[in-house]
Amino acid sequence: MTPDAVIEVEGLTKSFGGKRVVDDFSIRVDRGQIFGFLGPNGSGKTTTIRMLCGLLTPDAGRGTCLGHDIIRESAQIKREVGYMTQRFSLYEDLSIRENLDFIARVYAVPESGRNVQHALERLGLENRSHQLAGQLSGGWKQRLALAACLLHSPQLLLLDEPTAGVDPKARREFWDQIHALAADGITILVSTHYMDEAERCHRLAYIAYGKLLITGTATEVIEHSRLTTWSVSGPDLFPLASELRRLPAVKMVVPFGNTLHISGVDESALESALAPYRGRRDLIWTRAEPGLEDVFIRMMDSAQDNFNA
Residue among 48, 80, 45, 84 at smallest CA distance from 65: 80
CA triple 187-157-154, angle to 5 deg: 90
Distance CA 123, CA 178 (A): 10
Distance CA 150, CA 81 (A): 9
Q: Residue 187 pLDDT more than 90? A: yes
Cβ contacts of residue 10 below 8 Å, gap of 6+? 26, 61, 62, 63
Q: Are 47 and 21 in contact (CB under 8 A)?
A: yes
Give pLDDT tens digits for 106-157.
Answer: 888 888 889 999 999 988 899 999 999 989 888 888 889 999 999 988 999 9
Residue among 283, 236, 241 at smallest CA distance from 262: 241
Residue 155 per-residue DSSP state:
S
Amino acid found at 307: F
Q: Are 178 and 190 in contact (CB under 8 A)?
A: yes
3-state secondary structure of 136: coil
Which CATH number is 228-289 given?
A: 3.30.70.330
Give the CA radius of gyration of the chain.
22
Q: Are 137 and 169 in contact (CB under 8 A)?
A: no
At residue 294, the pLDDT reads 83
Residue 203 per-residue DSSP state:
E
3-state secondary structure of 112: helix
Q: Decide whether 5-222 matches 228-289 in CATH topology.
A: no
Q: Where are the beta strands (DSSP E) in 179-278?
A: 187-191, 203-208, 211-216, 228-233, 252-256, 259-264
Cβ contacts of residue 158 below 8 Å, gap of 6+? 49, 52, 53, 81, 82, 83, 84, 188, 189, 190
Q: Are 28 and 2 in contact (CB under 8 A)?
A: yes
Q: What are phi and psi of 97, to 5 degrees?
A: -65, -40
At residue 193, the pLDDT reads 81
Q: Which whole number is the average pLDDT over 74-80?
A: 88
Q: Which whole number is the average pLDDT over 256-280?
A: 92
Residue 294 per-residue DSSP state:
H
Torsion over CA: 12, 76, 184, 85 (sign):
positive
Tell me the domain boundaries of the chain.
5-222, 228-289
* Cβ burial, residue 52 (10 Å; 0-12/13-18/19+): buried
Q: Which whole number is the average pLDDT over 177-193?
A: 91
Q: Are 1 and 64 in contact (CB under 8 A)?
A: yes
Give pLDDT tens digits for 35-60.
Answer: 999 888 788 888 988 898 888 999 99
Fold of 5-222: Rossmann fold (3.40.50)
Cβ contacts of residue 242 below 8 Å, gap of 6+? none
Q: Pseudo-torsion of CA 145, 151, 154, 157, nearest 10°?
A: 10
Give 2's pLDDT tier (boundaries 50, 70, 90).
Answer: low
Give 304's pLDDT tier (boundaries 50, 70, 90).
Answer: low
